[in-house]
Structure 1
Amino acid sequence: MVLSQGIRENLRFLLVEVGGQLDNLIEFLSDKNRAAGHRILHRGGYTENLKRRIHQACLEQIKALPEATADAPQLRAMERIASELEMIADLCRDSASQLSELDSTAALKVKQHAKRLHDIGNGLGLVLPALESSDLRLAQRLAKLETKLNRRCRKMRKDYSGRLRERSKTQQLIAGLFIARNIEQMGHCLLNISDALVSSALGQPMNMRRYNSLRASMASLEQTRQQQGLQVQPLAETRSGSAISAISADSDGETDYLAIFKDGEEHKLREERDGVQSWHEIYPGLAPRIINYHKWGQSAALLIEHLSGLTLERILLHESDRLLRQALNRLGKTLHSVWRETRIDQPVGAGFMAQTQQRLAEVYALHPEFRQGDVALCGLQYPGFDPLLEQARAYESALKAPFSVYIHGDFNIDNIIYEPNEGQIRFIDLHRSCYMDYVQDVSVFMVSNYRMQILDPPRRRRIMATALELYRIAAEFARSQGDLGFELRLALGLARSFVTSTRFILDESLAASMFLRARYLIEQALRVNPDKAREYRIPLQEIFIG
């Protein structure tokens, strides 16, 4: 991508200005040169104007781009670099303000502060060469510099904090603490600039941590597949904070996906890795293969086999009725097989109402209108949702599945893949897999269909029919296993899924419809004597069709 002349020139001016501010701060810190301090404190408007010019020029260039282009991430990276440079200038001004209040700097670690500021200035000298050459080694040097600054500044702050206990020269020591913290934050700005440089070079949102893990994973894949020239394509970002990309290779002009790269919090990816591995041990053939996994600190990366085929959601929304029937038929056979082969005679309670209570704060945060107190109407008392839920939680304690099976744990319709050529079902996103009541998966699947925000009647009928087909599959299994409480537990499972799913739904009408259905199901279930659970039937027509 060729940056406009205005962006290049203003970026150069901004780098020079921020570098000058660092030099002035070193001079003010070392010699208490009031003129240097004055130059810092009275030039904030200039850096702000330069940043705004860069942002405006980037915005204009983005607006002029065609829709399908890789240049937008690079321009966004330029905006971020400008913002981080202006932040460094702000931190210089804050540090100068701290110094201007002191009569003496004798208690400060002047030489150490000056060295760290020199390091930051040297880091800024890498920005333009990294941009012009797309040399990611220079971006990596910036990231390593941030690590060094972080370590040194923490040590300085610890020293200042210890000396404050002596209650001597406290004003200077407090100023030293603030300056050390400001320098540490300047280091964070350098790290953010290194992330922006990586994004600019690769043409997609990226950070240095993710780049390093991605590079290691791709090297592993290249060695495994003996294939060079691999490419990365962003796919999605999850609500849990993970980022997902596809790694592909061009084969005769066609894109051939080789693997899926996922990175994020270490404990979440460890759960997914363990979930995938457990499926290979318990029921081989359903889960993708793990190619590579590595962790560092609180983060981790997972490289997983790319599964060919279509998600069940895509088949439902875009493919033929014939293919949908094939996929659902195979899904039913697969689930029956999994449930039979993994069954253990250990009763289990899913705790649907407890699960709902755990997520209720998030639901109320998005939909405060759902939080209602008790209501009296024509002499009848209707409890608010919270006490109703607590009542249902106590009621549910007597309801347990007579056996456990190994479940997916997040059985949304887009986590199921069907390969038409092989007639095979596969599962993805397996971080919540465990031995549990199979009703958990059934209820999640059914509600993941209902909550689709598609209103045209033909496709809506198709969606509802798909949800009811999984009910039929599960009910058939329940009868074959003598599970007499299946329907009553499913009512509470559906109520749980309806309520908790509203925290992802902004459409007020749809969210209210789901919430009211949940309340209706809970009220119905509470009227049933648990000893007569076999007689209860879910009002499917009213819930999914009416």
Structure 2
Amino acid sequence: MINAPKTIRENLRFLCAEIDGQLIQLEAFFKEPAAATARRITDRAGYAHNLKSRILAACVQQMAGARKTDRKHPALRSLEFVATDLQRIANLVRQSLRHAERIETFATLEPHRYPAMVSRVREGVARIEDAFLSRDSEKAIEIGQLQNRIEADYRKLFKVYTRGMRDPDRSPADIANSLLVASEFQRMGESLRSISEALISANLGQAVNFERYFTLQNLMSDLGTASEDVSIETIAETRSGSSISAIRDKKTETVTAVFKDGDKSKVKEERQGVKSWHSIYPGLAPKILSYRKRNQSAALLIEHLPGLTFEHIVLNEGDALRDRALASLSRTLKDVWKKTRTAEPAELGSMQQLAKRLEEVRRVHPHFRNTGIRFAGETLPSIDSLIHEAAAREARVTAPFSVYIHGDFNVDNIIYDPGENRIHFIDLHRSRYMDYVQDVSVFMVSNYRLQALDQETRRRISDVTLAFHKSVRAFARKQGDDTFEFRLALGLARSFATSTRFILDKSHARRMWLRARYLIEQALACPPGAEARFRLQMKEIFVD
């Protein structure tokens, strides 16, 4: 049971009772539309708002004095959503009343159909207090499931009203207002679903919706664990809409697995990527413990890997651990590339990728729009024209072989286990056979773009990128990859430019944007056919 402060419990009870009272009056209006009944609803508009405000204020006060790790914190946060949706139901009651009052021929509304819908909403409201205080997810689910019944009622009414549109004796305005009344009840059902999800979220300690909760339950049953025995902690939320969470045993406080859910196609790609790595290079990717799909969403339960992300190591650990991690990463990459090498040439296509993402970059940084630059009386070409020209050059310079790459080789997708001196990869939905320069350039720029701007950290970051480049360049030389540096210049340009869409610091973003332009200009300055002699001045690029 949740030990909520007395003032919150009391105001929640008062709010539920107030909403129930307004619903009773609305039902009475449908049975006998009287002005006095309507006034009893409209005159109490401010009371529900005041009760909601008291609950929100009390929740804020309680959370201000509690640590975020306190179990009360998610419960109080969820209660804010519950109170807000309860007041929303009160607003919808008044709106449905206004629409009903505009109906001249009241029989058009089919008012005898509404008491059942009102009863469903009242049933949901009546269950809220008990579901919240008892932390019973099953009771919370029952509240949300009422939406399905309300939705079914709405669809029946919708058919009745739309059929009435063909009746010349029916007033179009009356039918329109009847549809609006039904729509307000549909939205009441949606509010009950939102309240249900907020209550479940309070129990789990993390925001979930119905789809996610049922998927999690199924995955937990695959492990032989009840969802009530674990807590969920958000690790990351990806730009593709997926959510990644740690599943922690409440008794032992240990992380037992990682839960990733999102769009079915994205999760399917992740699953396929992990399976591919298991067959190509066992031990590098985590094990998939379970997979479930439901409608248009899906979820994976993935093995929790011990260790630290490379990002954490660069920003927080000492030079010795950083150097060990980098050495392990370099060895692992070279081994993967050697074992997966095929004779199929690979086209990097970095300039095409950049061209596709320019608009997204410029939505964040409008000052990167395509304008010519004047310098010493001369107008320099726009970056758009440089990209177009570089794309044509790049298409003629392919990698002499293909290897299996990660595909999204950012520093937070690499885990180093110091105990085992071992590297692991995560977030593998973009893995494929490709030019290894793709991963190299993404990794180097993902280090540079880390938003730690103090001098010592920037030095550590540049040390990593320079050492990594030296190692990979040696690999390229041994493999007879003569155009590695030329392709890398364009790959880095792509990564520098596209990464600015994640950087709001204008100075840092500008440094990256100018580096992208510089690299493209350097590549274009190389005479066609001389790409094998092209060399990058890495210190100029990565040392701030």
TM range (shorter): over 0.9
Task: Quote the residue 1:468 is aligned against.
Answer: 466
Which residue, 175, 182, 207 being the options, matches 1:205? 207
**1:217 partner amino acid:** L
Q: Is the 8 A contact 1:398 1:530 kept in 2?
A: no
Seen in structure 2, the aligned counterparts of structure 1 residues 378 and 159 have a Cα distance that, compared at 3 Å, is farther
Q: Is the 8 A contact 1:70 1:204 kept in 2?
A: no
Displacement of 1:510: 0.5
Distance in 2, matches of 1:374 and 1:457, equals: 33
Distance in 2, matches of 1:155 and 1:354, equals: 51
Q: Is the 8 A contact 1:399 1:485 kept in 2?
A: yes
**2:185 partner amino acid:** I
Seen in structure 2, the aligned counterparts of structure 1 residues 439 and 126 have a Cα distance that, compared at 3 Å, is same
Task: Quote the residue 1:169 is aligned against.
Answer: 171
Distance in 2, matches of 1:227 and 1:192, equals: 20
Identify which range, 373-382 or 86-95, moves more after superposition.
373-382
Displacement of 1:543: 0.6
Distance in 2, matches of 1:349 and 1:111, equals: 68
Task: Quote the residue 1:107 is aligned against.
Answer: 108
Distance in 1, matches of 2:250 and 2:195, equals: 31
Distance in 2, matches of 1:156 and 1:22, equals: 19
Displacement of 1:425: 1.4
Q: Is the 8 A contact 1:222 1:228 kept in 2?
A: no
Identify which range, 195-204 or 92-101, moves more after superposition.
195-204
Displacement of 1:230: 4.3
**2:320 partner amino acid:** R
Task: Quote the residue 1:126 is aligned against.
Answer: 127
Displacement of 1:227: 13
Could you list the runs of 5+ residues in structure 1 that have no partner in the other structure? none
Q: Secondary structure at the match of 2:262?
A: strand
Taking the TM superposition and a 5 Å limit, the aligned residue runs for 1:240-259 are 240-249=240-249, 255-259=253-257
Task: Quote the residue 1:238 is aligned against.
Answer: 238
Displacement of 1:116: 1.6
Seen in structure 2, the aligned counterparts of structure 1 residues 40 and 386 have a Cα distance that, compared at 3 Å, is farther
**1:17 partner amino acid:** E
Task: Quote the residue 1:264 is aligned against.
Answer: 262
Task: Quote the residue 1:178 is aligned against.
Answer: 180
Taking the TM superposition and a 5 Å limit, the aligned residue runs for 1:365-514 are 365-514=363-512
Task: Quote the residue 1:316 is aligned against.
Answer: 314
Question: 1:316-343 CA deviation, whole Å, 9 max, x = no partner?
Answer: 2333333322222221121111112212
**1:129 partner amino acid:** D
Distance in 2, matches of 1:399 and 1:349, equals: 8
Question: 1:252-275 CA deviation, whole Å, 9 max, x = no partner?
Answer: xx6432211112222221111111
Identify which range, 318-327 or 258-267, moves more after superposition.
318-327
Seen in structure 2, the aligned counterparts of structure 1 residues 159 and 515 have a Cα distance that, compared at 3 Å, is farther
Q: Is the 8 A contact 2:216 2:227 kept in 1?
A: no
Distance in 1, matches of 2:499 and 2:212, equals: 30
Question: 1:282-323 CA deviation, whole Å, 9 max, x = no partner?
Answer: 222211110001011121111001111222222223333333
Task: Quote the residue 1:5 is aligned against.
Answer: 6
Distance in 2, matches of 1:419 and 1:18, equals: 55
Q: Is the 8 A contact 2:67 2:73 kept in 1?
A: no
Distance in 2, matches of 1:322 and 1:466, equals: 12
**1:180 partner amino acid:** A
Identify which range, 268-277 or 414-423, moves more after superposition.
414-423
**2:208 partner amino acid:** M
Displacement of 1:153: 2.0
Identify which range, 185-194 or 468-477, moves more after superposition.
468-477
Q: Is the 8 A contact 1:41 1:97 kept in 2?
A: no
Seen in structure 2, the aligned counterparts of structure 1 residues 331 and 85 have a Cα distance that, compared at 3 Å, is same
Task: Quote the residue 1:274 is aligned against.
Answer: 272
Distance in 2, matches of 1:219 and 1:484, equals: 54
Displacement of 1:372: 4.1
Seen in structure 2, the aligned counterparts of structure 1 residues 535 and 161 have a Cα distance that, compared at 3 Å, is farther
Question: 1:20-72 CA deviation, whole Å, 9 max, x = no partner?
Answer: 22222222223222222222233222221211111111112222224642212
Distance in 2, matches of 1:337 and 1:147, equals: 54
Q: Secondary structure at the match of 1:107?
A: helix
Which residue, 220, 223, 235 being the options, matches 1:221? 223
Task: Quote the residue 1:146 is aligned against.
Answer: 147
TM-score by length of structure 2 reads: 0.94
Q: Secondary structure at the match of 1:531?
A: coil
Seen in structure 2, the aligned counterparts of structure 1 residues 345 and 48 have a Cα distance that, compared at 3 Å, is same
Distance in 1, matches of 2:391 and 2:172, equals: 57
Task: Quote the residue 1:89 is aligned against.
Answer: 90
**2:34 partner amino acid:** N
Task: Quote the residue 1:541 is aligned against.
Answer: 539
Distance in 2, matches of 1:336 and 1:450, equals: 22
Displacement of 1:519: 1.0
Question: 1:430-476 CA deviation, whole Å, 9 max, x = no partner?
Answer: 11111111111001100111011223333322211111222122212
Distance in 2, matches of 1:526 and 1:163, equals: 69
Q: Secondary structure at the match of 2:123?
A: helix
Displacement of 1:379: 4.0
Seen in structure 2, the aligned counterparts of structure 1 residues 530 and 25 have a Cα distance that, compared at 3 Å, is farther
Q: Percent identity?
A: 46
The alignment status of 1:357 with 2:358, answered yes or no, reads: no
Task: Quote the residue 1:69 is aligned against.
Answer: 70
Q: Is the 8 A contact 2:204 2:230 kept in 1?
A: no
Q: Secondary structure at the match of 2:109?
A: coil
Pairs aligned (count): 542
Question: 1:477-535 CA deviation, whole Å, 9 max, x = no partner?
Answer: 22122222211111111111111111111111111111111111111112223311111
Task: Quote the residue 1:346 is aligned against.
Answer: 344
Identify which range, 274-283 or 195-204, moves more after superposition.
195-204
Could you list the runs of 5+ residues in structure 2 that have no partner in the other structure? none
**2:473 partner amino acid:** A
TM-score by length of structure 1 reads: 0.94
**1:346 partner amino acid:** E
Displacement of 1:370: 1.4
Identify which range, 386-395 or 508-517, moves more after superposition.
386-395
Q: Secondary structure at the match of 1:32?
A: coil
Q: Is the 8 A contact 2:205 2:232 kept in 1?
A: no
Q: Secondary structure at the match of 1:530?
A: coil
Distance in 1, matches of 2:488 and 2:163, equals: 60
Q: Is the 8 A contact 1:74 1:204 kept in 2?
A: no
Seen in structure 2, the aligned counterparts of structure 1 residues 385 and 162 have a Cα distance that, compared at 3 Å, is farther
Displacement of 1:280: 1.1
Q: Is the 8 A contact 1:399 1:530 kept in 2?
A: no
Task: Quote the residue 1:335 is aligned against.
Answer: 333
Identify which range, 345-354 or 90-99, moves more after superposition.
345-354
Displacement of 1:119: 0.6
Distance in 1, matches of 2:416 and 2:284, equals: 11
**2:125 partner amino acid:** L
Q: Secondary structure at the match of 2:415?
A: strand
Seen in structure 2, the aligned counterparts of structure 1 residues 317 and 465 have a Cα distance that, compared at 3 Å, is same
Seen in structure 2, the aligned counterparts of structure 1 residues 105 and 378 have a Cα distance that, compared at 3 Å, is same
Q: Is the 8 A contact 2:211 2:294 kept in 1?
A: no
